């Protein structure tokens, strides 16, 4: 059964260590091997067990080895490992999409039509983060002691990348909310911070607008700090884009017979 000494925990892992193993101190946590992550694995020190009858050529002075999984009995983590474990508990979510045009039933829709977003080619579309919350936009902070290391991690959305569904893309911050009351008598104006205009119709269907939140997590602990890349989070909505056409007519008073 595992036992602990000043050299660490007993290990019987051929290929890694047959002897006593412990986490290498911070000063000996050199960069990870190619393809590995310091937020997952770590360097460990092995004090090899050499019985008196060991072969003379056997290395009994110990060595370091990399492992993505703490060896059996090891209950200590590097700060980066502890931070990575902490961030896995974050339940980050996509933003609530704010958009003009809004989701509604229009006056010329047939009775019973469900609410939807509708706009026209060439009309400004405004985009923003509606009611940003710690878990949808940040900052969201959490601290924990894991594997003997106390770390604090803070997640924050750095930007939101909007895809229009017709090939356009724009990256913004929180955006600017559209004020319908203030803008009702104004000419169509682009958002000062985030938006686009459709250049073609959606035909008989709709375009899917996607908002991708680009999160960054910064952590501190154990006398060091770092950043952790987390998967992007997406929200989506649909919009119908039509085409407005003007028709020129001649007034009857012009005497042209129309």
Question: Per-residue pLDDT for 107 more than 70?
Answer: yes
Helices (H), the chain: 79-87, 180-183
Closest CA to 123 of 193, 205, 191, 175: 191
Confidence of residue 255 (pLDDT cuts 50, 70, 90): very low
**Residue 49 or residue 257, greater confidence:** 49
pLDDT given at position 254: 40
Task: Locate 138 and state its tokens.
Answer: 């940040």
Q: Please give the model's pTM, rounded to 2 decimal places.
A: 0.71
pLDDT given at position 51: 65
- Model pLDDT for residues 108-124, shown as the tens digit of each residue: 778 877 888 999 999 99
Residues with Cβ < 8 Å from 152, sequence gap 6 or more?
A: 141, 142, 143, 219, 220, 221
- Model pLDDT for residues 86-101, shown as the tens digit of each residue: 998 999 999 999 999 9
- Model pLDDT for residues 135-186, shown as the tens digit of each residue: 999 999 999 988 878 999 999 999 999 999 999 999 999 999 998 777 776 7
Residues with Cβ < 8 Å from 10, sequence gap 6 or more?
A: 2, 3, 4, 19, 20, 21, 73
* Mean pLDDT, rounded, of the chain: 82
- Model pLDDT for residues 123-133, shown as the tens digit of each residue: 999 999 999 99
Give Cα 3 to chain centroid, integer Å: 41
Q: Tokens 């924050």 appear where?
A: 156
Backbone φ and ψ for 110, nearest 5 degrees, come out as -60, 155
């Amino acid at each position: 059964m595992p036992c602990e000494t000043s050299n660490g925990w007993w290990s019987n892992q051929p290929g890694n260590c047959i002897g006593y193993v412990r986490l290498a101190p911070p000063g000996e946590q050199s960069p990870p091997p190619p393809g590995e992550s310091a937020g997952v694995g770590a360097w460990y020190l092995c004090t090899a067990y050499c019985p008196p009858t060991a072969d003379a050529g056997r290395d009994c002075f110990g060595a370091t080895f990399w492992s993505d999984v703490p060896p059996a009995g090891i209950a200590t983590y590097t700060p980066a490992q502890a931070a990575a474990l902490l961030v896995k508990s974050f339940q980050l979510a996509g933003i609530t999409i704010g958009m003009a045009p809004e989701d509604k039933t229009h006056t010329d829709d047939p009775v019973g039509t469900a609410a939807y977003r509708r706009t026209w080619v060439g009309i400004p579309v405004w985009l923003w983060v509606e009611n940003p919350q710690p878990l949808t936009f940040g900052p969201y902070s959490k601290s924990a002691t894991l594997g003997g290391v106390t770390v604090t991690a803070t997640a924050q959305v750095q930007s939101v990348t909007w895809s229009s569904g017709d090939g356009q893309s724009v990256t913004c911050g929180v955006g600017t909310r559209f004020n319908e009351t203030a803008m009702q008598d104004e000419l169509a104006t682009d958002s000062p911070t985030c938006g686009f205009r459709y250049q073609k119709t959606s035909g008989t269907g709709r375009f899917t607008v996607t908002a991708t939140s680009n999160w960054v997590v910064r952590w501190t602990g154990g006398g060091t700090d770092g950043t952790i890349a987390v998967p992007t989070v997406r929200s989506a909505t649909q919009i119908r884009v039509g085409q407005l056409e003007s028709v020129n007519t001649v007034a009857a008073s012009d005497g042209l017979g129309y």
